[in-house]
């Protein structure tokens, strides 16, 4: 049986996947982190409170949430 991952581990994985500087959607991050989009959304909202990431809503008919790492997030990622 697989162990449940901690919220901290998922946040580290999100920052690691955003470390290359590119923007990613919640769905793309969910695929990369092998977890659900609701889990990604909840963890990204907490990272947003600490200013480690930026979330931008874009789209015409369907709204997509694009996530990008900030400089503070990059500095935190280097210290991990």
pLDDT tens, position by position, 31-53: 999 999 999 999 999 999 999 99
pLDDT band at 5 (very low <50, low <70, confident <90, very high): confident
Domain membership flag for residue 57: yes
Global pTM reads: 0.90
Q: Residues 23-29: what's their mean pLDDT?
A: 96
Q: How high is the mean pLDDT of the chain?
A: 93
Domain membership flag for residue 24: yes
- Is the distance from CB of 16 to CB of 74 less than 8 angstroms? no
- Structural domain containing residue 66: 7-79
The residues pairing with 69 across neighbouring beta strands, listed in sequence order, are 53
Domain membership flag for residue 73: yes
CA-based nearest residue to 27, from 73, 66, 69: 66
Domain membership flag for residue 1: no
Number of domains in the chain: 1
- Residue 50 CA, chain-centre distance (Å), reads 13
Domain membership flag for residue 50: yes
- Rounded CA separation 24/68 (Å): 7
CATH number, position 37: 1.10.10.10
- Residue 63 CA, chain-centre distance (Å), reads 17
Q: Residues 41-66: what's their mean pLDDT?
A: 94
Q: Residues 4-11: what's their mean pLDDT?
A: 90
First to last CA, the chain: 28
Of residues 12 and 1, more confidence is placed in: 12
């Amino acid at each position: 049986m697989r162990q449940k991952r901690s919220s901290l581990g998922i946040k580290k994985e999100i920052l690691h996947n955003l470390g290359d500087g590119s923007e990613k959607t919640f769905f793309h991050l969910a695929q990369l982190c092998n977890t659900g989009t609701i889990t990604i959304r909840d963890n990204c909202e907490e990272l947003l409170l600490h200013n480690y990431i930026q979330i931008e809503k874009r789209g015409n008919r369907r709204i997509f949430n694009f996530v990008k790492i900030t400089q503070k997030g990059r500095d935190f990622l280097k210290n991990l």
